[in-house]
A and B are shown apart, each in its own frame.
Chain A
Amino acid sequence: MGQTARFQETLRRLAIFDERLVGAGSRPGPAETPALDAKTTALLQVAASVAIGSSAVCLQWSTTRALAAGATKDEIADVLLVIAAVAGLGRVVSAAPDVATALEYDIDAALEEPDEH
Chain B
Amino acid sequence: MSWRIADASGFGIRFWTNGGPAVTGVVDVMSGTGHGAVAPRLGFSLPESKFHPPAARTGIVARTALVERLVATQAPVITVIAPPGYGKTTLLAQWAERIGSRVAWLSCDDGDNDPVVLLSALAAALDRIGPVDPAIFSALASSGADISVVPRFVSAIAAVQPPVTVVLDHAEAIASRQCLNAIAEFALRLPPGWQLALASRAELPLPTARLRAEGGILEVTADDLAMGPLDAAHLLKGAGAEVHEAALHDLLQRTEGWPTGLYIAALAMNSGTPHSDVGFTFTGDDVFMGDYLRSELLDRVSGAEASFLTRTSVLDRMCGPLCDAILGEKGSGRVLEQIEARNLLVVPLDRRREWYRYHRLLRELLQAELRQREPDLAQDLHFRAAMWFEANAMPEAAIEHAQAAGDYDRVARLILERQQPVWASGRVETVRRWMEWLSDVTAAEHYGAIAAHGSLFAALLGRAGEAERWVAAAERATPAGILPDGSTMQGTLAYLRACWCRNGVAGMRRDAQVALDGLSPASPYRATMLYTEGLSYLLEDDPDRAHPILARALDVSVHVGSPPLTGLILAQQCSVAARRNSWSEVTSLAERAVGIVQAGRFDDYWTSALVYAWAARAALHQGNISQGRLYLGRAARLRPLLTYALPVVSVQALLEMARCYITLTDPAGAAAVLTQTHDILQQRPDLGVLPQRAAELRSRLATIKAGAVGPSALTAAELRLLPLLPTHLSFPQIAAELFLSPHTVKSEMKSIYRKLGAATRAEAVTRSRELGLLEG
Residues on A facing B (Cβ under 8 Å): 4, 9, 12-13, 15-18, 29-32, 37-39, 42, 56-57, 60-61, 64-65, 67-73, 98, 101-102, 104, 106, 108-109, 112, 117
Known: A4-B760, A13-B759, A67-B713. 8 other contacts (CB 8 A): A17-B750, A18-B757, A29-B706, A57-B747, A61-B754, A102-B715, A109-B741, A112-B741
Determine which of B671, B743, B748, B754 lies in contact with A68 in the assembled complex, contact meaning CB atoms within 8 Å. B671
Q: Which residue of A lies closest to B750 (CB)?
A: A16
| Assembled-state Cα–Cα distance A73/B678 (Å) | 9
Contact at A102–B751, with CB atoms within 8 Å?
Answer: yes
Asked whether A12 and B754 contact (CB < 8 A) given A68-B713, A70-B702, A101-B744, the answer is no
Contact at A109–B744, with CB atoms within 8 Å?
Answer: yes
Interface size range on B against A: 35 or more
Contact at B744–A17, with CB atoms within 8 Å?
Answer: no
Q: How far is the CB of A32 from chain B (nearest CB, A)?
A: 6
Determine which of B744, B748, B754 lies in contact with A18 in the assembled complex, contact meaning CB atoms within 8 Å. B754
B192 close to A (CB within 8 Å)? no
Contact at A70–B698, with CB atoms within 8 Å?
Answer: yes
Q: Which residue of B lies closest to A109 (CB)?
A: B741
Q: Which residue of B lies closest to A14 (CB)?
A: B759
Identify whether the interface residues of B are mostly helix, strand, loop, or mixed. Answer: helix
Q: How far is the CB of A29 from chain B (nearest CB, A)?
A: 7
| Assembled-state Cα–Cα distance A31/B705 (Å) | 8
Contact at A68–B709, with CB atoms within 8 Å?
Answer: yes
Q: Which residue of A lies closest to B702 (CB)?
A: A70
B753 close to A (CB within 8 Å)? yes
Contact at B744–A69, with CB atoms within 8 Å?
Answer: no
Contact at A39–B709, with CB atoms within 8 Å?
Answer: no
Q: Which residue of B lies closest to A65 (CB)?
A: B709
The 8 A CB mask of B8-23 against A (1 = contact, 0 = none) is 0000000000000000
Q: How far is the CB of B697 from chain A (nearest CB, A)?
A: 10
Determine which of B667, B751, B757, B759 lies in contact with A70 in the assembled complex, contact meaning CB atoms within 8 Å. B667
Asked whether A15 and B750 contact (CB < 8 A) given A65-B709, A69-B667, A69-B706, the answer is yes
Query: Which residues of A sit under 8 angstroms from B706, Cβ to Cβ?
Result: 29-32, 38, 42, 68-69
Query: Which residues of A sit under 8 angstroms from B297, Cβ to Cβ?
Result: none
Query: Which residues of A sit under 8 angstroms from B750, Cβ to Cβ?
Result: 15-17, 57, 60
B740 close to A (CB within 8 Å)? yes
Contact at B713–A101, with CB atoms within 8 Å?
Answer: no
Determine which of B705, B744, B751, B757 lies in contact with A38 in the assembled complex, contact meaning CB atoms within 8 Å. B705
B159 close to A (CB within 8 Å)? no
18 A-B contact pairs sorted by A residue (CB < 8 Å): A9-B759, A12-B760, A16-B753, A31-B706, A32-B706, A38-B667, A57-B747, A57-B750, A64-B751, A67-B672, A70-B702, A71-B671, A72-B678, A102-B715, A104-B679, A104-B715, A108-B741, A108-B744
Contact at A104–B705, with CB atoms within 8 Å?
Answer: no
Contact at A106–B740, with CB atoms within 8 Å?
Answer: yes
Query: Which residues of B sit under 8 angstroms from A29, Cβ to Cβ?
Result: 706, 708-709
Name which of B708, B713, B740, B741 has the most chain A CB atoms within 10 A of its CB: B741
List B713-751 residues whose CB lies under 8 Å from chain A: 713, 715-717, 739-741, 743-744, 747-748, 750-751
Q: Which residue of B lies closest to A106 (CB)?
A: B744
B675 close to A (CB within 8 Å)? yes
- Ordered nearest first, which 5 A-B pairs have the shortest CB separation? A68-B668, A38-B706, A108-B741, A104-B717, A101-B747
Query: Which residues of A sit under 8 angstroms from B713, Cβ to Cβ?
Result: 64, 67-68
Residues on B facing A (Cβ under 8 Å): 465, 667-668, 671-672, 674-675, 678-679, 698, 701-702, 705-706, 708-709, 713, 715-717, 739-741, 743-744, 747-748, 750-751, 753-755, 757, 759-760
| Assembled-state Cα–Cα distance A39/B668 (Å) | 11
Name which of A39, A61, A106, A108 has the most chain B CB atoms within 10 A of its CB: A106
Q: How far is the CB of B236 from chain A (nearest CB, A)?
A: 55
Query: Which residues of B sit under 8 angstroms from A60, Cβ to Cβ?
Result: 747, 750-751
Q: Which residue of A lies closest to B751 (CB)?
A: A60
Query: Which residues of B sit under 8 angstroms from A65, Cβ to Cβ?
Result: 709
Q: How far is the CB of B514 from chain A (nearest CB, A)?
A: 29
Q: How far is the CB of A61 from chain B (nearest CB, A)?
A: 7
| Assembled-state Cα–Cα distance A24/B771 (Å) | 24
Query: Which residues of B sit under 8 angstroms from A32, Cβ to Cβ?
Result: 705-706
| Assembled-state Cα–Cα distance A56/B346 (Å) | 62
| Assembled-state Cα–Cα distance A55/B675 (Å) | 24
Query: Which residues of A sit under 8 angstroms from B678, Cβ to Cβ?
Result: 72-73
Query: Which residues of A sit under 8 angstroms from B702, Cβ to Cβ?
Result: 37, 39, 70
Q: How far is the CB of A46 from chain B (nearest CB, A)?
A: 14
| Assembled-state Cα–Cα distance A5/B230 (Å) | 59
Asked whether A73 and B744 contact (CB < 8 A) given A37-B702, A64-B713, the answer is no
Determine which of B668, B747, B753, B757 lies in contact with A56 in the assembled complex, contact meaning CB atoms within 8 Å. B747
Contact at B705–A16, with CB atoms within 8 Å?
Answer: no
Q: How far is the CB of A103 from chain B (nearest CB, A)?
A: 8
Determine which of A56, A73, A101, A106 lies in contact with B675 in the assembled complex, contact meaning CB atoms within 8 Å. A73
Name which of A12, A61, A104, A112 has the most chain B CB atoms within 10 A of its CB: A104
Q: Which residue of B lies closest to A37 (CB)?
A: B702
Q: How far is the CB of B764 from chain A (nearest CB, A)?
A: 10
| Assembled-state Cα–Cα distance A42/B717 (Å) | 22
Q: How far is the CB of B536 from chain A (nearest CB, A)?
A: 28
Query: Which residues of B sit under 8 angstroms from A37, Cβ to Cβ?
Result: 702
Q: How far is the CB of A114 from chain B (nearest CB, A)?
A: 12
Query: Which residues of B sit under 8 angstroms from A104, Cβ to Cβ?
Result: 679, 715-717
Contact at A109–B740, with CB atoms within 8 Å?
Answer: yes
Q: Which residue of A lies closest to B666 (CB)?
A: A68
| Assembled-state Cα–Cα distance A69/B759 (Å) | 24
Q: How far is the CB of B709 from chain A (nearest CB, A)?
A: 5
Q: Which residue of B lies closest to A117 (CB)?
A: B465
Contact at B759–A12, with CB atoms within 8 Å?
Answer: yes
| Assembled-state Cα–Cα distance A38/B706 (Å) | 6
Contact at A70–B671, with CB atoms within 8 Å?
Answer: yes
Contact at B747–A68, with CB atoms within 8 Å?
Answer: no
Contact at A16–B715, with CB atoms within 8 Å?
Answer: no
Name which of B679, B701, B702, B754 has the most chain A CB atoms within 10 A of its CB: B754
